[in-house]
Amino acid sequence: MTVIVLTNCPAGLRGFLTRWLLEISAGVFIGNPSARIRDILWEEVEQYAGQGRALLAHTTNNEQGFTFRTHDHAWHPADHEGITLIRRPDTNTRPVTAEPQSGWSKAAKRRRFGRG
C-alpha cells in the first residue's frame, strides 16, 4: 500500500499521479504500485513539487510495518532505536540570556515608577 500526500503542489503533478494512484481527497493519493514504480513516482514528485510539500508512506517489512519519506516538510523522520519517528521543529524556544531584562515583570514596573 502506498500513500502520497501533496500540499500546495502544481495541478499537473496531481494529474500525473492519477495515472497510477487513486486521489481519494484533494492531494491525497493511495494505491498499490510496485516498488520500482513507487520510487519513480517519488522522484517525479520531488522534481516537480515546486514550492509545495510532499509525504510518501508505504508498507515495508520492518517492525512498524511501514516507512515514510518527506519532501520540503518542517517535520522530518528520525530513527530512534530502529523505529522511525517524526521530529517536529521546536517553535517555542526562546534565546537564553544571562540576566533578565529590566522591566520584565509587574513588580519591576512598580519599582521603576514608584507605585509600590
The residue type found at 84 is T
Cell reading at 98 = 544571562
Model pLDDT for residues 17-62, shown as the tens digit of each residue? 999 999 999 999 999 999 999 999 999 999 999 899 999 999 999 8
Structural class in CATH, domain 2-89? alpha beta
Q: Tell me, yes or no, if the pTM score tops 0.85.
A: no
76 phi/psi in degrees, rounded to 5: -125, 145
- Residue 101's CB is within 10 A of a number of other CB atoms, namely 8
Residues present in the chain in total: 116
Cβ pair 28, 59 in contact under 8 A: no
Containing H/E element for 24? strand 22-25
Return the domain boundaries, the chain: 2-89
